[in-house]
Chains A and B, each alone.
Chain A
Amino acid sequence: MIAEAGHYALVLALVLALIQSVVPVIGARLRDPALMNVARSTALTQFAFAALSFAALTWLHVTSDFSVANVYENSHSLKPMIYKITGVWGNHEGSMLLWVLILALFGAMVAAFGNNLPRTLRALVLAAQAWIGAAFYLFILATSNPFARIANPPIEGRDLNPILQDIGLAIHPPMLYLGYVGFSISFSFAVAALIEGRIDAAWARWVRPWTLMAWIFLTLGIAMGSYWAYYELGWGGWWFWDPVENASLMPWLAGTALLHSAVVMEKRDALKVWTILLAILTFSLSLLGTFLVRSGVLTSVHTFASDPARGVFILMILCLFIGGSLSLYAWRASALKQGGLFAPISREGALVLNNLLLTTACATVFVGTLYPLALEVLTGDKISVGAPFFNLTFAPLFLPLLLAVPFGPLLAWKRGDIVGAAQRLTAAGIVALVTMAVLWAWTKGGGAFAPLMIGVAAFVVLGSLTDIVERTQLFRAPFATSLGRARGLPRSTWGSAFAHAGLGIALIGIVCETTWNSESIASMQPKDVVTVGGYQVRLDDVTQQQGPNYREAISHFTVMQDGKTIGILSPSKRNFSTRGMSTTEAALLTRGVSQIYVSLGDSHADGSIAVRIYHKPLVLLIWFGPVLMAFGGFLSLTDRRLRVGAPKPAKATKTSGALQAAE
């Protein structure tokens, strides 16, 4: 009953999406407010039905109703409750349902909070949103129905893939989808602007918070996924340049560029045509990511069992939306008026450079990800493009970007003073050079690369803070004055400082982890001691334990430094009987921002066990950086809300004028 209700709700959501895709467009053509307002109510009800459908599937998973194929294949009655819930999106059908739910959620948010949007724009945005929605509802109903029944219901389910039975799964996919799908709003706004043939700074002011929100979630989602891979897969790696990871990195790079170009458009009314293109490209890359992951072109832990019909269907959706929007762009972009002038050296110029480097870096990732697929289709040769490719292409393009980051916020709009900016960055530059020299002397014998990159990272972090220091006149004015000024600074200034500093901090973590990571692989008997990175790790004993749906063998290690015990580590091997699979649960000991990582291999007949122990210096900074970036984005978002809430032309001009002067 519940399953049929969920299925029916999904069909109703499709019907509503179809109405929403057509009626508002006609309304916008005829300038009929009643028809245009249909978009608002359908968007809200469509979300309600999508949510109902999702709730039904969740209910089926929670109550372990194995008469539903999806539940049978991915659940088990003994599975802990949290994984029964997260298992809803731990499979192909459920994750697509989450995808459309989030899509409908964003549509509903535009409908609910978009009262001050021009009516035609809102109608067209919601219509474009519904086109995407309708395509994906059709996809789910036609090829991946999560509510399909089994004629003879089995008594027990097949359990969720044990690798996915982890708290990381609770957070990573929803975050990532909020990011991926969030970019659909910028896409819909771009399409609506192209149909209307009119675009102005108010448009950018509207698009920015949505883009920013999507970007925050995508940043956190990628970071979370990376941390999950790090502790769950047991290899101690955090980024593999796997096509599926690249699929999420590409929209992030394009989205970051979009975020920056939207600033130029909002403040200076320039780069309009480019911003529209970026909005289209960003969401196209999100769709491409969905295609790569969901079509079965690639095989990885992300791609659940798949069949070719799905791949063809998603490919059609992909071609339709990317092809359609780009044709619309080619046809209508020339109708958009060109914006304001600016000198090459100016805030706009810096943001153009940012866009140029980010999109080019994104293009290299694109080539590295799709070239093997294209080659296999064309010539049948199977090749793999791994980390070396990306290190040789992505890294050299990112380096100038990192060096330019501190300059951007210090340049004035329209015409900037690069010498002045350089002078203000002298302190940061000197500290960075000293850092390099000290590190190089300290690690003598080691390569120059790591100290050099850490110096660059220090420059990025300090350079980002320089803007704040300059504006608050810290160290020059009395402290109380600076504090007052700091309070008066717009939140978006703080936001960009935090986000840029986060970039530098992540870089420090990446460089330290890759350069000074020490690893020891050994076959250990109880009481054996292995020394890694200045720590002694002793295997104490191995115990057996029964979990809810697995058995595990836990090894206990004592970590010592200079003879003193500093912690206990208990990595384990879990054996999931239903799937006949075993997983390795690595154990981590955090010391400051560094970690000791112990992962287990096979155990042998003589009682010895293969153990892999890593010491990873400053590794947590890799994820702390993105969290800081997301926090910066959040600060900016709270700033935006004030302005979005005040869209009346006069008031908006006043506020943005004040901010412009301050930023």
Chain B
Amino acid sequence: MTRKQRRLTLIGCALAVLAIAAALVLNALRDSILFFSTPTMAAEKHIQPGQRFRLGGMVREGSLVRGEQLKVKFDVTDGNATLPVTYQGILPDLFREGQGIISEGALDAQGVFKADTVLAKHDETYMPKAVADELKKTGHWKDDYDKKPSAQNVQGNAK
């Protein structure tokens, strides 16, 4: 084979692999991405039952009900709309009422969000970014999310 032919073989192989990869990526992007939504957006968009998405918002105070076999029910709210959520399993360490969470799952026929994953913030200064953005937009952002407990007296200096 001449140098040119060899180079063409090489380029041909490379293009073939790239084409396959591009096809895989496009296919996967169509099927496996999850959209983020707040309860308000979920109501506006009329998300179909069974379609998976990520729900973000605050756990409404006083809405947490624990059932048999680690089943839990709680409401997720963004201030305007509220969506009931059910989940079975162990909630993260930092799951509390009044805190921002993100959960993954789908709506059932009754309009209840059946979550298979619940993520809570990692530490007291962390709030899922998508949730924080939405809360700021809708005006429900409370300043004390930024505050650090036991640090109020030196807050100004520490920053």
Contact = CB atoms under 8 A, between A and B. Distances in A.
Interface of A: 69, 72-73, 150-152, 154, 158, 161, 163, 234, 298-301, 305, 341-344, 352-353, 356-357, 360-361, 363-364, 367-368, 371-372, 381-386, 388-389, 392-393, 396-397, 521-523, 573, 578-584, 599, 601-602, 604, 610, 612
Contact of A582 (B24, B93, B149): B93
15 contacts: A154-B151, A341-B3, A344-B10, A381-B35, A383-B35, A385-B33, A385-B34, A389-B29, A389-B32, A397-B20, A521-B88, A523-B69, A580-B124, A601-B90, A601-B91
Interface of B: 1, 3, 6, 9-10, 13-14, 17-18, 20-21, 24-25, 27-29, 31-36, 54, 66, 69-70, 88-91, 93-94, 122-130, 148-151, 153-154, 157-158
Given A69-B158, A396-B24, A599-B90, 16 more contacts: A72-B158, A158-B151, A161-B122, A299-B127, A356-B14, A371-B29, A384-B33, A388-B31, A388-B32, A389-B32, A389-B33, A392-B24, A521-B70, A521-B90, A523-B70, A610-B70
B54 A384 contact: yes
B1 A151 contact: no
A364 B33 contact: no
A163 B28 contact: no
Given A385-B32, A521-B70, A357 B17 contact: yes
Contacts, number: 134
Contacts of B94: 581-582
A601 B28 CA distance: 34
A245 to B, nearest CB: 15
Contact of B34 (A73, A356, A384, A397): A384
The listed residue with most B CB atoms (<10 A of its CB), out of A381, A579, A583, is: A579
B36 A382 contact: yes
B129 A299 contact: yes
Contact of B90 (A163, A300, A580, A612): A612
A94 B27 CA distance: 42
A164 B153 CA distance: 25
Contact of A584 (B6, B93, B125, B148): B93
Contacts of B149: 579-580
A368 B3 CA distance: 36
Given A341-B6, A397-B24, A382 B35 contact: yes
Nearest to B159: A69
Given A305-B125, A343-B6, A389 B158 contact: no
A298 B129 CA distance: 8
B40 to A, nearest CB: 14
B41 to A, nearest CB: 10
Given A163-B123, A393-B28, A601-B70, A384 B36 contact: yes
A604 to B, nearest CB: 8
B143 to A, nearest CB: 16
Contact of A363 (B21, B54, B150): B21
B17 A356 contact: yes
Contacts of A357: 17
B17 A360 contact: yes
A360 B14 CA distance: 9
A344 B36 contact: no
Nearest to A153: B154
B130 A352 contact: no
